[in-house]
Amino acid sequence: MTANYSELEKKANELRIDVIKSLKEAGSGHPGGSLSAADIISVLYFHEMKVYPDDPYNKDRDKFVLSKGHAAPILYAALAHKGFFPVEDLMTLRKLGSSLQGHPDMKKVPGVDMSTGSLGQGISTAVGMAIAGKLDKSPGRVYAMLGDGELQEGIVWEAFMAAAHYELDNLVAIIDWNGIQIDGFNDDIMKVTPIDEKLKSFNWGVTVIDGHNIEEIVKAFEEARKCKGKPFAIIAKTIKGCGVSFMENLNSWHGKAPDDEQARKALEELGGVC
C-alpha cells in the first residue's frame, strides 16, 4: 500500500491534540514521551500494521507492545481514531472506573496486546509473542516501542540477545530516542549510546532515522520487512514533547499534565480547538 505522507502527518497532529486534551482533563500523565512517539504511532496504526477494530483478537493480526507503557495517551489516541473505541472515551483517561488507565491494560482496552508499565518487560513479552508467532506460522508481525532510557534495564539486552538467537525476523523494535528520561538527560544519568552499534553486535538489523520524518519512518518499516533471519531495530531520533514548543527537550514534561492555560497554548500551536 502506497503511503500518503501528508495524511499520516495530519493524523499524527490529530493524535497530539488528543494527547493534550486527555491529559488536561485527567490532570496527570505523561506528555513528553507521548508527543515524541506520535509520528511513529501514526505510521504504525494508519499504514504499517494489519489490525482489525471489529475483530481485535484476530489470530493473524499484527501486534504492538508499548514497552514504554507510560506513553499510553498516544496509544489510546491511535486506538480511538482507528475505531477500537469511541474518541470521546479519551476524556476518561485516568478517571476512576475508566478502562483507560495510566498504563495500558490488555484485559480492559480492545486493541491493547500487552499490559505494560514496568520498564524493560514489554520487549521481553514481544520476543515471546514473536516466538509464538513463528511456532503458529502466523503471518502477523510484532512491533515493540521502547524508550531510550529504558535501555538502561538489563532485561532489555537479554531480550535482544534471545530475539537474535531465535532469528525473529517477525519482530521490530522501535527505539524512541529522545535523549531524556524522568530525571534528566540520559547521558548524564547512564549513557546508552551507541545504540546502533550495540544492536548490530547482537546481530540485529538496524537503521537510524529522524523519528518525525514520516517518509523516513515508512521506509524504515519497509526495510524491516525485507530483513530476513534476524530481528530489526528502528532507532528513531526524536524530540521529547515534539509539537509543543514549551514542552520540547524538557524532562519536567516527562510526567506532568498541562493546566488549563498550558493546554490552551499547546492546542493553539497544534491547531486544535482551545
Mean pLDDT of 41-53: 98
Mark out the alpha helices in the chain (DSSP H runs): 5-26, 32-36, 38-43, 72-82, 121-136, 154-165, 186-189, 195-201, 214-226, 260-270
Question: Whole-prediction pTM value?
Answer: 0.96
3-state class (DSSP) for residue 48: helix
CA 176 to chain CA centroid, nearest Å:
7
pLDDT class of 23 with cuts at 50, 70, 90? very high
- CA distance linking residue 90 with residue 86, whole number of Å: 8
Residue-wise DSSP of 110-150 = TT--S---STTHHHHHHHHHHHHHHHHT----EEEEEESGG
pLDDT tens, position by position, 83-136: 999 999 999 999 999 999 999 999 999 999 999 998 999 999 999 999 999 999
pLDDT class of 2 with cuts at 50, 70, 90? confident
- Pair 200, 162: CB distance under 8 Å: no
Q: What pLDDT sits at residue 34?
A: 97
Percent of the chain with pLDDT over 70: 99
Q: What pLDDT sits at residue 261?
A: 97
pLDDT class of 271 with cuts at 50, 70, 90? very high
Q: What pLDDT sits at residue 274?
A: 57
What single DSSP character describes residue 235? E
Q: What pLDDT sits at residue 79?
A: 98
CA–CA distances in Å: residue 185 to residues 177, 241, 270: 11, 14, 26
- The reply to whether CATH 3.40.50.970 applies to domain 5-270 is yes
Query: Cell for 240?
Result: 521529547
The continuous run of DSSP H or E covering 181 comes out as strand 180-181
Instruction: Provide the residue ranges of all domains of the chain, joining segments of one domain with +.
Output: 5-270
pLDDT tens, position by position, 236-269: 999 999 999 999 999 999 999 999 999 999 999 9
